[in-house]
């Protein structure tokens, strides 16, 4: 009976997916002509053929599931053909494997077939074909093959998405993408800019991310596409390094080791997590079970490095190493050995002390006798209270559709379920102290992450749950080392629901990347893509502008910059600073103040003192030209994505700036606005935020 209901559930879910994909296809085909209703002949025929194919697939699948014995001879012939196919079989595996990425990310059809139900159905078909092709022997395929293919294809999707935007397109690809590359350039490439060598260039970015993102600026002649490629690597390689370091006990079996690294990538990319913290976790993983003489100094340095990257991370390395050493230690008669306690306590404390006192010690060594500890209770309280906490973002909202809580549950529930199963079934044996060593840090990380996710400016994804996600990952590593590996090697003997949980653990992380894959380089196809996608206009497709539009926009900016320089005054690149970084605009002295992200950060904190100087410079017409994104003044509420952030920007930046300056040129296709001083600014002081008005 359980087998029957399991088959019925599988058939029902697949049929529902076919139904949903047919509805999505109808939306694409409708509105293309007037052959039948609003179908064109071509798309109408394609739609009705697809519906017929879906119905046939549902019927055939039902027959295969509920009357499999009738197809026994057919299965034998297909399997025999597979076994005789030789090298052609693996060539077909390669073609099918790359098909989803090619179709969705490298053709314009990825823009058209954007509905997730169509993409998931595509993935299911690909996974079934690949599972069949890689299976050996006289079986069609089994659970091991399905799980293997789902993990590998999920990893494939996650691996390719960061490289979607590797392009020579000179303008910013996101709200802060261009200026972030400017941030990266300062540590190793400040010589690029026309700015006094004895003056520091302020950057709103931690040293760790500056270092990692800025390494390519050591290369002469670095291009913007090279930097974008490097940025893509930085959100892939650290995760793989962490997986290889944490699962290094499996390195003798290269296949298992590689798959473990791939799972680490797809699981943690659900955050995503900034590279410096992932690299700190790599060091922690390598120090686990290392000699104390080696582990003690390096865990202290890792705590310091974490704090220098972000102050909320200062205790993470110490808590992780304590968790690994205590919960990962073997039991002797249900008890922990004395040396396990010693290692866990020493390394945990040293890691946390390194994070807390590291800045003070570094300051003293650098000759700053007034250096203080990096963090205090008062400092934490001030940091939490200086910006509003938007608790509603824990629940479904416009900024992050399903909300932080539901998003975190989806990302972690399969792993949590499997960990509980391993513990309850005694495959993974823990005593009380080990359980406490796991739960206490995870609860602390969870609390910090939830609070950070509600701060204005956050809550758009799970990146603030970074310490919790890595802590949960380390819990999975501990379970793997203490019974999980043996369970996984006999997965066919496990209860059905645990196999489903493992399938979801591998599949769910790939869904986000599967949905994101698309191309941005088909501007020449925009007219017919608008018809098929029901986009309001070509700009809504978010394609890169054509080369002619891009070149024209650059020439306009160069011309206006040259004119502004001839009139005196400074030129402020509030946005698009990468144009200076990569030499698209030359000969312009750098104005480091009033960068876009800095302005937003100060606006979110309502920093009146900071904006006093900005408004004074605007009133004094310090800048003969300001390069910005298009400044708008509509006020929004929480029903809009990042509504509160928009309102802070409008209040503190857009309204005052547009009162003192006016747009001279707006290049909508590339998202740039050029502003010049207004002649009449008599009433502008009354447009300033309350508290700064006369």
Q: How does DSSP assign 578-639, residue by residue?
A: HHHHTTSS-S-B---SS-HHHHHHHHHTT-HHHHHHHHHHHHTT-EEEEEES--------TT
Indicate if 608 and 667 belong to the same structural domain.
Answer: yes
Indicate if 334 and 394 belong to the same structural domain.
Answer: yes
How confident is the model over 287-314, as pLDDT tens digits?
999 999 999 999 999 999 999 888 889 9
Q: Is residue 532 part of a domain?
A: no
Total domains in the fold of the chain: 4
Last residue of a domain, one of 189, 212, 229: 229
Buried b (16+ CB within 10 A) or exposed e, 297-327: ebbbbbbbbbbbbbbbbbbbbbbbbbbbbbb
Q: Is residue 621 part of a domain?
A: yes
Indicate if 580 and 624 belong to the same structural domain.
Answer: yes
Distances in whole angstroms, Cα of residue 682 to Cα of each of 619, 620, 660: 10, 12, 9
List the chain residues with pLDDT less than 50: 372-374, 377-378, 380-381
CA distance 211 to 276: 9
CA distance 464 to 386: 18
Last residue of a domain, one of 164, 194, 215: 164
Q: Is residue 534 part of a domain?
A: no
Indicate if 152 and 190 belong to the same structural domain.
Answer: no
Average model confidence (pLDDT) for the chain? 91
Indicate if 669 and 582 belong to the same structural domain.
Answer: yes
Indicate if 159 and 131 belong to the same structural domain.
Answer: yes
Q: Is residue 694 part of a domain?
A: no
Q: Are 268 and 473 in contact (CB under 8 A)?
A: yes
Indicate if 282 and 193 belong to the same structural domain.
Answer: no
Last residue of a domain, one of 491, 515, 539: 515
Q: Are 25 and 118 in contact (CB under 8 A)?
A: yes
Give the range of the structural domain holding residue 191, as residue numbers without chain letter.
Answer: 177-229
Indicate if 348 and 453 belong to the same structural domain.
Answer: yes
Q: Is residue 246 part of a domain?
A: yes
Strands 672-677 and 623-628: antiparallel
Give me the pLDDT at residue 367, please. 63
Give me the pLDDT at residue 7, please. 76
Indicate if 276 and 186 belong to the same structural domain.
Answer: no
Give me the pLDDT at residue 90, please. 93
What is the per-residue DSSP string for 292-317? Answer: HHHHHHHHHHHHHHHHHH-GGGTTHH
Indicate if 154 and 212 belong to the same structural domain.
Answer: no
pTM of the model: 0.93
Indicate if 224 and 271 belong to the same structural domain.
Answer: no
Give me the pLDDT at residue 690, please. 81
Which 8-state DSSP code applies to residue 494?
S
Strands 623-628 and 335-336: unpaired
Give me the pLDDT at residue 201, please. 93
Indicate if 112 and 183 belong to the same structural domain.
Answer: no
Q: Is residue 348 part of a domain?
A: yes
Q: Is residue 345 part of a domain?
A: yes
Q: Is residue 521 part of a domain?
A: no
């Amino acid at each position: 009976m359980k087998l029957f209901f399991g088959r019925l559930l599988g058939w029902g879910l697949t049929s529902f997916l076919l139904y949903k994909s047919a509805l999505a296809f109808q939306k694409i085909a409708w509105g293309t002509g007037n052959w039948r209703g609003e179908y064109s002949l071509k798309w109408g025929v394609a739609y009705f053929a697809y519906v017929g194919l879906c119905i046939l697939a549902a019927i055939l699948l039902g027959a295969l599931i509920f009357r499999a014995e009738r197809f026994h001879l057919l299965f034998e012939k297909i399997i025999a053909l597979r076994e005789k196919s030789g090298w052609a079989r693996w060539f077909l595996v390669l073609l099918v494997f790359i098909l989803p990425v090619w179709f969705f990310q490298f053709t314009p059809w990825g823009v058209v077939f954007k509905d997730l139900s169509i993409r998931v159905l595509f993935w299911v078909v690909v996974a079934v074909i690949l599972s069949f092709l890689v299976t050996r022997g006289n079986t069609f395929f089994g659970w091991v093959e399905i799980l293997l293919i789902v993990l590998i294809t999920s990893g494939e999707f996650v691996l390719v998405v960061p490289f979607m935007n590797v392009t020579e397109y000179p303008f910013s690809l996101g709200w802060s993408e261009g200026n972030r590359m400017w941030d990266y350039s300062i540590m190793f490439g400040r010589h690029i800019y026309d700015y006094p060598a004895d003056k520091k260039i302020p950057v709103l970015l931690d040293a760790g991310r500056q270092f990692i993102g800025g390494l390519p600026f050591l290369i002469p002649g670095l291009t913007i596409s090279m930097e974008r490629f490097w940025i893509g690597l930085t959100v892939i390689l650290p995760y793989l390094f962490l997986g290889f370091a944490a699962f290094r006990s499996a390195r003798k079996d290269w296949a298992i080791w590689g798959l473990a690294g791939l799972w680490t990538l797809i699981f943690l990319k659900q955050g995503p997590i900034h590279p410096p913290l992932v690299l700190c976790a790599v060091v922690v993983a390598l120090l686990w079970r290392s000699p104390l003489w080696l582990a003690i100094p390096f865990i202290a340095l890792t705590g310091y490095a974490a704090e220098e990257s972000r102050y909320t991370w200062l205790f993470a390395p110490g808590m992780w190493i304590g968790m690994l050493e205590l919960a990962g230690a073997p039991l002797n008669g249900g008890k922990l050995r004395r040396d396990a306690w010693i290692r866990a306590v020493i390394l945990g404390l040293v890691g946390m002390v390194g994070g807390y006192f590291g800045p003070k010690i570094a300051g003293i060594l650098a000759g700053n006798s007034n250096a203080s500890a990096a963090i205090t209770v008062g400092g934490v309280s001030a940091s939490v209270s200086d910006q509003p906490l938007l608790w509603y973002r824990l629940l479904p909202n416009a900024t992050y559709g399903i909300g932080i809580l539901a998003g975190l549950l989806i990302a972690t529930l399969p792993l949590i379920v499997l960990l509980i199963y391993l513990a309850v079934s005694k495959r993974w044996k823990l005593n009380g102290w080990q359980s406490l060593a796991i739960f206490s840090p995870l609860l602390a990380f969870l609390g910090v992450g939830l609070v950070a996710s509600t701060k204005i400016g956050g809550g758009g994804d799970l990146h603030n749950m970074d310490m919790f996600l890595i802590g949960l990952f380390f819990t999975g590593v501990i379970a793997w080392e203490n019974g999980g590996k043996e369970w996984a090697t006999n997965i066919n003997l496990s209860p059905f629901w645990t196999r489903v949980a493992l399938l979801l653990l591998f599949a769910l992380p790939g869904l986000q990347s599967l949905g994101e894959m698309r191309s941005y380089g088909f501007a020449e196809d925009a007219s017919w893509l608008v018809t098929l996608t029901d986009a309001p206009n070509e700009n809504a497709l978010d394609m890169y502008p054509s080369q002619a539009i891009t070149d024209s926009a650059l020439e306009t900016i160069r011309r206006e910059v040259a004119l502004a320089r001839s009139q005196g005054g400074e030129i402020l690149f509030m946005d698009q600073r990468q144009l200076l970084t990569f030499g698209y605009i030359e000969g312009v002295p750098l104005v480091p103040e009033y960068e876009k992200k800095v302005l937003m950060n100060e606006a979110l904190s309502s920093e009146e003192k900071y904006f006093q100087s900005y408004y004074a410079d605007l009133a004094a017409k310090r800048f003969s030209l300001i390069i910005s994104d298009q400044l708008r003044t509509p006020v929004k509420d929480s029903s809009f994505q990042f509504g509160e952030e928009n309102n802070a920007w409008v209040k503190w930046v857009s309204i005052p700036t547009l009162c003192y300056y006016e747009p001279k040129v707006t290049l909508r296709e590339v998202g740039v606005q050029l502003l010049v001083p207004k002649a009449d600014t008599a009433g502008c002081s009354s447009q300033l935020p309350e508290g700064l008005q006369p």
